[in-house]
Amino acid sequence: MRFVITNTYDEMSKEAARFVAEAVKAKPDIVLGLPTGSTPIGMYKELIRLHKEEGLDFSQVTTFNLDEYRGLSSDHDQSYRYFMEDTFFKHVNIKPENINFLVGTAKDPEAECQRYEEAIEKVGGIDLMILGIGVNAHIGFNEPAKELPANSYVVQLAEETIEANSRFFERKEDVPKEALTMGVGSILRSRRIILLANGSSKKDAIYGTTNGIVTTEVPGSLLQLHQDVVLFLDKEAAVKVSK
Ligand code: F6R
C-alpha cells in the first residue's frame, strides 16, 4: 500500500483528483469504479474544475458505481444514482450510455447483480477503482462479517451504517435496510485501487485497513491483498496508520 497524507480535506481531494485525471489522460477510454458519500465530493468538484478549465475529457470514460440502495429508483433524491448525477455526471461530458449502476428497483436483485458482474467483464474489467470507507471499515457496502461474497450481491446494511447514513434522510426509518453492492472480489479484481478517507471518525477504520491483519470483519483490510492500492488520507484519518 502507498500513502498520500495531506493536512486538509481540500488537499486530499485535489491530490486524489489529480491522480484520477492522470489516469484518464493516460487511458482516455478508462473504466472507473466510483463511490458516493461525503468523502469524494471534493474530488468530484476538482475533477469538474479540471474538465471545465483544463479540458479533462470524459467522453470515452466508462463508469461503474459501487452500490445502490435496494428499493430506491434512480430519480429518488437519496438514491446513489441521483447523487452521482447531481454531484458529478451532469457537470462533465461522460456519455449516459457509459454510466453503469446497480438498479435498486430491479424485480430480481440477484439477477441484477449477475448482470452487473457480466457488464464489468464485458468491458474488460475496472481499471481504476475509487473507494471511500465506512466508520466500520466497510468498502462499497461490504459490511463486517464472518464471511463475504466475492461478487455483487444484496446486503443487509449494518446498524451503524444506517445510523451514519440517516443524516441524509428526514427520518432514520426512511433509510433503506438493504443495498446492492459490488462484492470484495469485484473490487479486488480492479487493476488499481485508490481509497479516500478524512476526519478522525475514520482513524480506526484506516488502522484496521493497514495494520497487517486481513479479515472480513474489517472489510477494508482485504485491500492489503491487492498489489496496487494508494490511500489518500487527511492527517486526522491517518493518525493510527501503520505503514
Ligand atoms: C458509497 C460507498 C461507501 C462509502 C462509505 C463512506 O458508495 O461505497 O462505502 O464510501 O460509507 O461514506 P462517507 O464518505 O459518506 O463517509
For the chain, the straight-line distance linking the first and the last C-alpha, in angstroms and rounded, comes to 8
Residue 243 predicted with pLDDT over 70: no
Ligand 1 pocket: which of 65, 79, 88, 138 to mutate (most atoms within 8 A of CB): 138
Q: Is 139 in the pocket of ligand 1 (CB under 6 A)?
A: yes
The yes-or-no answer on residue 67 being catalytic is yes
Q: Is 220 in the pocket of ligand 1 (CB under 6 A)?
A: no
Q: Is 67 in the pocket of ligand 1 (CB under 6 A)?
A: yes
> Which residue's CA is the nearest one to ligand 1's atom 3?
140
**How close is the Cα of 201 to the center of ligand 1, in Å?**
13
The per-residue pLDDT for 168 is 87
Winning range, highest mean pLDDT, from 133-137, 156-160, 166-170: 133-137
Q: Is 186 in the pocket of ligand 1 (CB under 6 A)?
A: no
Distance CA 167, CA 171 (A): 8
pTM: 0.97
The strands making up 128-131's β-sheet, listed across from edge to edge, are 2-6, 229-234, 192-197, 128-131, 31-34, 62-65, 99-100
* For the chain, percent of residues with pLDDT exceeding 90: 95
Residue 242 predicted with pLDDT over 70: no
Q: For residue range 159-217, what is the model confidence (pLDDT) as tens digits?
A: 989 998 898 899 999 999 999 999 999 999 999 999 999 999 999 999 999 999 999 99
Residue 69 predicted with pLDDT over 90: yes
Cβ neighbours for 241, distance < 8 A, ≥ 6 positions apart: 3, 5, 206, 207, 210, 231, 233
Q: Is 134 in the pocket of ligand 1 (CB under 6 A)?
A: yes
φ/ψ (deg, to 5) at 111: -65, -35
Structural domains in the chain plus CATH codes: 2-234 (3.40.50.1360)
Of 138, 142, 165, 234, which residue is the catalytic one? 138
Print burial letters for 206-220: b (CB count within 10 Å at least 16), e (below 16). Answer: bbbbbeeeeeeebbb
Q: For residue range 6-46, what is the model confidence (pLDDT) as tens digits?
A: 999 999 999 999 999 999 999 999 999 999 999 999 999 99
Distance CA 65, CA 98 (A): 11
